[in-house]
């Protein structure tokens, strides 16, 4: 950049992904917002100005955000070199990176070494080279960086050598033409978004060296038909196989401890799943809308089933919840229209082998004919929407043992005049008693530590709320980042407490430490 330039405007070099080096003349006094953002190979900065340019900082338009070196004079040694065949390398001591390729070939055999040294494929090295068809990577390469082959949309063939131990985030995102890939035994982690939107990928073999599958790793791999997850894998990331709509079979190893949020969401061809005994948590929406899923075998170590974990699994006919489960999220089995429930006194339940009434799903008939309900004494969880719109229900006793009442559980029960909460209760969900216009008074037990937003909104007749424990309550609305402590003496007055709960702080989350 010539001397005399005083400013660089906003977005001036935005996403110039081939830019590797720049000189800022002494005349420069300002750099606009995002001027160099996404210049992901901008490794060397020669800063001759008086501006404070700091390596890795997102200030000054991201000019040095990706930098490997920032020099204060023109004579600083450049570590960048382009080989005769077009490969751009960065060498600083023992650190050697392949930064990119300046040639025109579409079928590449990468060099074995650079100056006698092994190297790493740098972040974004071949990103967006849509004409690239094949790449042979030598065994000397030790890692594939983030975004390295992102959006190489014509890439049909690539090998991952045995020396690779990690596949970076977004490494092959949008490589929509290759159908299979072999991951070598040395790889221990598959990064976030690593194979995101590899639309033609039909098969992939995960070796038993891999311990984690990143978030979104195989998201929208719509042609993938089967996957075998080895015993070495302990975690499956959020959205890992989301929208793998051709996925029919999943073999899950005995080492998996957690399945992330939406991990198998919308895998509409998946017909059955066996969850291992090692598994302890199933994330929110993990198997949501797996409409062909007929059977689920759940291991005996699961402690938590997330919100909407199996919602809209319309073909699911039966499921046994293990005795180890301590929490079931909102809507976990919502819309499972083929599911066979356990029935007691006109109410549907799901449960364990030893307790078939663990989880109250819903009243059998939801209309104004329901005037009273007896909840089974062994119930622990009441699902969201369980009794909503039962407009003639007048009173209900929730048995001791119930720990949570789900969102919208008694929504619009307009004739409900009294509710008895058990001492075991810890949580009342969002909108749980919304528009229960006849409810006059309640007692909040000592064990309750959470009350959701709008839980008692529009309960216009509610004039008395007795908190058995008035200390430690605060209300928060995370959207507005507001958090307010409520004085114990204020909640000690039932009338004030009722006003706070149904009106003043009705749109806040109530929490007690």
Which residue's entry shows tokens 């066979």? Answer: 340
Average pLDDT estimate for 387-403: 95
Collapsing DSSP to helix, strand or coil, 474 comes out as: strand
pLDDT exceeds 90 at position 77: no
pLDDT exceeds 90 at position 219: yes
pLDDT tier for residue 163 given thresholds of 50, 70 and 90: confident
Residues in contact with 68: Cβ distance below 8 Å, sequence separation at least 6, in sequence order: 43, 44, 55, 79, 90, 92, 97
Structure tokens at 387: 């009794």
Average pLDDT estimate for 20-29: 93
Q: How far is CA 332 from CA 272, 282, 321, 382, 407, in A?
A: 17, 10, 12, 11, 12
Residues 434-443 have pLDDT tens digits of: 999 999 999 9
Residues 457-503 have pLDDT tens digits of: 999 999 999 999 999 999 998 756 678 999 999 999 999 999 999 99
Which residue's entry shows tokens 């083929």? Answer: 338
CA atoms of 66 and 374, how far apart (whole Å): 64
Average pLDDT estimate for 337-353: 94
pLDDT tier for residue 18 given thresholds of 50, 70 and 90: confident
Neighbour order of strands in the sheet with 157-158: 107-109, 134-136, 157-158
Residues 169-198 have pLDDT tens digits of: 999 999 999 999 989 999 999 999 999 999
Structure tokens at 312: 């809209």
CA atoms of 93 and 190, how far apart (whole Å): 28
Chain-centre distance of CA 491, in angstroms? Answer: 37
pLDDT tier for residue 65 given thresholds of 50, 70 and 90: very high
- What pLDDT, on a 0 to 100 scale, did the predictor assign at position 86? 95
Residues in contact with 133: Cβ distance below 8 Å, sequence separation at least 6, in sequence order: 106, 107, 154, 155, 156, 157
Which H or E element spans position 494?
A: helix 494-499
Query: In the chain, pLDDT over 90 holds for what percent of residues?
Result: 87
CA atoms of 480 and 484, how far apart (whole Å): 12
Average pLDDT, the chain: 94
Domains with residue ranges and CATH for the chain: 1-80 (no CATH), 359-512 (3.80.10.10)
CA atoms of 375 and 386, how far apart (whole Å): 11
- What pLDDT, on a 0 to 100 scale, did the predictor assign at position 75? 63
Average pLDDT estimate for 283-312: 96
Structure tokens at 213: 């599958």
Neighbour order of strands in the sheet with 235-236: 166-167, 189-190, 212-213, 235-236, 258-259, 281-282, 304-305, 327-328
The full DSSP string for 236-297 is E-TTTTTT-TT--EEEE-TT--EE-TTTTTT-TT--EEE--TT--EE-TTTTTT-TT--EEE
pLDDT exceeds 90 at position 120: yes
pLDDT exceeds 80 at position 73: no
- What pLDDT, on a 0 to 100 scale, did the predictor assign at position 129? 94
Start-to-end CA span in the chain (Å): 59
């Amino acid at each position: 950049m010539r001397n005399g330039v005083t400013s660089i405007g906003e977005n001036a070099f935005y996403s110039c992904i081939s830019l590797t080096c720049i000189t800022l003349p002494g005349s420069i006094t300002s750099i606009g917002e995002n001027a160099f953002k996404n210049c992901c190979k901008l490794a060397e900065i020669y800063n001759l100005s008086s501006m404070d340019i700091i390596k890795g900082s997102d200030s000054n338009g991201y000019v040095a955000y990706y930098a490997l070196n920032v020099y204060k004079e023109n004579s600083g040694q450049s570590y960048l070199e382009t080989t005769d065949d077009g490969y751009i390398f960065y060498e600083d001591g023992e650190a050697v990176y392949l930064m990119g390729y300046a040639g025109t070939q579409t079928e590449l055999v990468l060099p074995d070494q650079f100056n006698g040294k092994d190297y790493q494929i740098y972040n974004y090295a071949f990103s967006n080279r849509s004409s690239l068809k094949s790449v042979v990577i030598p065994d000397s390469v030790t890692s594939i960086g983030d975004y390295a082959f992102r959006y190489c949309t014509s890439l049909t063939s690539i090998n991952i050598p045995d020396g690779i131990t990690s596949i970076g985030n977004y490494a092959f995102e949008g490589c929509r033409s290759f159908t299979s890939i072999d991951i070598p035994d040395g790889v221990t982690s598959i990064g976030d978004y690593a194979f995101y939107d590899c639309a033609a990928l039909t098969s992939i073999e995960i070796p038993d060296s891999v311990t984690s599958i990143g978030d979104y790793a195989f998201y929208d791999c719509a042609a993938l038909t089967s996957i075998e997850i080895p015993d070495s894998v302990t975690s499956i990331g959020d959205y890992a196989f989301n929208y793998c709509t051709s996925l029919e079979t999943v073999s899950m190893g005995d080492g998996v401890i957690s399945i992330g949020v939406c991990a198998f969401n919308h895998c509409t061809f998946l017909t059955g799943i066996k969850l291992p005994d090692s598994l302890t948590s199933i994330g929110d929406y993990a198997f949501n809308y797996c409409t062909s899923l007929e059977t689920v075998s759940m291991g005996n170590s699961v402690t938590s089933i997330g919100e909407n974990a199996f919602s809209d699994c319309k073909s699911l006919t039966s499921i046994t919840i293990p005795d180890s489960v301590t929490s079931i999220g909102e809507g976990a089995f919502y819309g499972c229209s083929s599911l066979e429930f356990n029935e007691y006194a006109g109410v549907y339940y799901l449960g364990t082998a030893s307790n078939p009434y663990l989880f109250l799903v819903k009243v059998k008939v939801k209309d104004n004919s329901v005037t009273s309900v007896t909840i089974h004494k062994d119930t622990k969880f009441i699902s969201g929407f369980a009794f909503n719109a039962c407009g003639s229900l007048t009173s209900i006793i929730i048995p001791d043992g119930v720990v949570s009442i789900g969102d919208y559980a008694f929504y619009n029960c307009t004739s409900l005049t009294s509710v008895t909460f058990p001492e075991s209760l810890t949580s009342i969900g969002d909108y749980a008693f919304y528009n229960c216009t006849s409810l006059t008074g309640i007692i909040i037990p000592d064990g309750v530590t959470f009350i959701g937003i709008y839980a008692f909104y529009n309960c216009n007749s509610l004039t008395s709320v007795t908190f058995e424990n008035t200390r430690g309550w605060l209300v928060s609305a995370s959207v507005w980042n507001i958090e307010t402590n409520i004085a114990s003496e204020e909640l000690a007055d039932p009338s004030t407490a009722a006003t706070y709960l149904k009106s003043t702080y009705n749109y806040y989350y109530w929490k007690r430490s």
